Amino acid sequence: MAEDHEIAGILRALDGRYLRPAPGGDLLRTPAILPTGRNLHGFDPFRIPSAYAVQDGARQAERLLARHLADGNDFPESIAMVLWGTDNLKSEGGPIGQALALIGATPRFDSYGRLAGAQLVPLAQLGRPRVDVVITLSGIFRDLLPLQIKLLAEAAFLAASADEPDDQNFIRKHALAYQAEHGGDLETASLRVFGNAEGAYGSNVNSLVDNSRWDDADELAETYTRRKGFAYGRSGRPVQQAALLNSVLAGVQLAYQSLDSVELGVTTIDTYFDTLGGISRAVKRAKGVDAQVAPVYIGDQTRDSDGAGTVRTLSEQVALETRTRMLNPKWYEGMLEHGYEGVRQIEVHVTNTMGWSATTGQVQPWVYQQITETFMLDPAMRQRLARLNPTASAQVANRLLEASDRQFWKPDPSVLDALRRAGEELEDRLEGVYSNSPEGSAA
């Protein structure tokens, strides 16, 4: 990793010369990806999920259910699960295996070992009820894994069609209830794979948060549901089904996504709160006015290749990332070595943290308090940030003030006042009118 082979690699490629092949994937799971800058080959779509991913997915499914029960909740009838493309490629389809395991299904392979569809695990072997899994796909998953979309849709349809008792098969229970209320066929009532329309990506919740263009969090839910309201059935073709999506979301008891890799946290990029945060808010809106946001869990298997892993609540995950990244001098000093881009990364983390408050309300107030103390109320740090990147520094102050305006934390009046003055100073620096006189400088 200390050597850069990438520029040399791309120049060879542009010259039309030979580049050695190399596997793609996750740095820790597949160290053979190094050195980068080679001709990476991806995956065989007919072999995802792999046998290992099916086994590992089953373990992660039980781990998620155990955590939810340990937190004092009932066994969940419905779970919302976010599937991305990259994490499935890096784990041979681990999260796909997990969704199948929750439903109580496995992939079926033909005599050449190629993926051919889904099959149900008998209830006696499963040993617990089939969970209703509402799956939402990223646009990248939709583009990369069309066979797996059909696999998941078939698993949901087979479960809804199985002649099994209501209390052992929640997909069937909910699909029959939907049919009784709305009519239509079982094929429609059992649609559980949702995503964007063809050619569209993301839920836009991230850009609403980034631009502060929202008043009520229900607007975020509305945007999410409109963007992700396309159901993918066994044919693999999307059909707009926003009402069905709302109906299934109303029954969801927890939302879940697993981390992509050790390189990314849920506050590193804005797409985690866009997808998992967005669906959490959509669940709350679908349930109605007085509903709480359902528990949100993050699966972390990024460090263990032996099948171990951890399930954290969103609140725990954000706290962990805040302590190990944002408030950790090793992390932020490392960032600041990169100059203006490092300050921008700090700003991005603050904005993403606020995205989680906006969508789930599950960020603890101390997170904002300590970020404020570390980056805004320490005059020396504030000055360093402002010198390196005046725009992003002012944005950090404004974001923290916005979080207070929206009541995501309630700072003491003295802290709020100091933060306001720090923000004004940073705006002055940005406009080039900052003078370091006692009355012009923040405490």
In the complex, what is the shortest distance from the CB of residue 84 to ligand BEZ, in angstroms, rounded to a whole number? 3
When binding is defined by CB under 6 A, the residue of 43, 141, 224, 230 that contacts ligand BEZ is: 141
Is residue 261 part of the contact set for ligand BEZ (CB under 6 A)?
no
Please give the helix or strand (H or E) that residue 300 lies within, else none. strand 296-300
Closest CA to 398 of 419, 369, 368: 419
Is residue 148 part of the contact set for ligand BEZ (CB under 6 A)?
no
The alpha carbons of the chain give a radius of gyration, in whole angstroms, of: 24
Choose one: 80-88, 181-189, 209-217, 311-319; the region binding ligand BEZ (CB under 6 A).
Answer: 80-88
Among ligand BEZ, Mg ion, none, the one that 427 touches (CB under a kind-dependent 5 to 8 A) is none
Among Mg ion, ligand BEZ, none, the one that 378 touches (CB under a kind-dependent 5 to 8 A) is none
> Is 48 strand, coil or helix?
coil
In the complex, what is the shortest distance from the CB of residue 26 to ligand BEZ, in angstroms, rounded to a whole number? 12
C-alpha separations of 81 from 96, 134, 399 in Å: 10, 6, 29
Among ligand BEZ, Mg ion, none, the one that 138 touches (CB under a kind-dependent 5 to 8 A) is ligand BEZ
CB atoms within 10 A of CB 179: 16
Distance CA 233, CA 239 (A): 8
Distance CA 352, CA 374 (A): 17
Q: Is 190 or 352 the residue whose CB approaches ligand BEZ more closely?
A: 352
Among Mg ion, ligand BEZ, none, the one that 297 touches (CB under a kind-dependent 5 to 8 A) is none
> Is 196 strand, coil or helix?
coil
Choose one: 180-188, 209-217, 252-260, 280-288; the region binding Mg ion (CB under 5 A).
Answer: 209-217
Distance CA 342, CA 387 (A): 12
Is residue 352 part of the contact set for ligand BEZ (CB under 6 A)?
no
Is residue 85 part of the contact set for ligand BEZ (CB under 6 A)?
yes
Q: Is 36 or 86 the residue whose CB approaches ligand BEZ more closely?
A: 86
Distance CA 168, CA 425 (A): 61
Choose one: 53-61, 83-91, 161-169, 372-380; the region binding ligand BEZ (CB under 6 A).
Answer: 83-91
Q: Is 210 or 316 the residue whose CB approaches Mg ion more closely?
A: 210
Residues 333-361: b if buried by 16+ CB within 10 A, e if exposed: eebbeeebebbbbbbbbbbbbbbbbbbbb
Alpha carbon dihedral 260, 264, 267, 268, in 10-degree steps, equals -130
CB atoms within 10 A of CB 220: 28
Is residue 327 part of the contact set for ligand BEZ (CB under 6 A)?
no
In the complex, what is the shortest distance from the CB of residue 413 to ligand BEZ, in angstroms, rounded to a whole number? 39
Distance CA 429, CA 426 (A): 5
Distance CA 270, CA 332 (A): 19
Please give the helix or strand (H or E) that residue 240 lies within, else none. strand 238-240
Residue numbers 385-414 binding ligand BEZ by CB under 6 A: none
Residues that bind ligand BEZ (rule: CB under 6 A) add up to a total of: 7
When binding is defined by CB under 6 A, the residue of 138, 267, 302, 345 that contacts ligand BEZ is: 138
Is residue 268 part of the contact set for ligand BEZ (CB under 6 A)?
no
Please give the helix or strand (H or E) that residue 422 lies within, else none. helix 413-431
In the complex, what is the shortest distance from the CB of residue 210 to Mg ion, in angstroms, rounded to a whole number? 5
In the complex, what is the shortest distance from the CB of residue 277 to ligand BEZ, in angstroms, rounded to a whole number? 13
In the complex, what is the shortest distance from the CB of residue 107 to ligand BEZ, in angstroms, rounded to a whole number? 20
By the criterion CB under 6 A, which residues form the site for ligand BEZ? 84-86, 138, 140-141, 271
By the criterion CB under 5 A, which residues form the site for Mg ion? 210
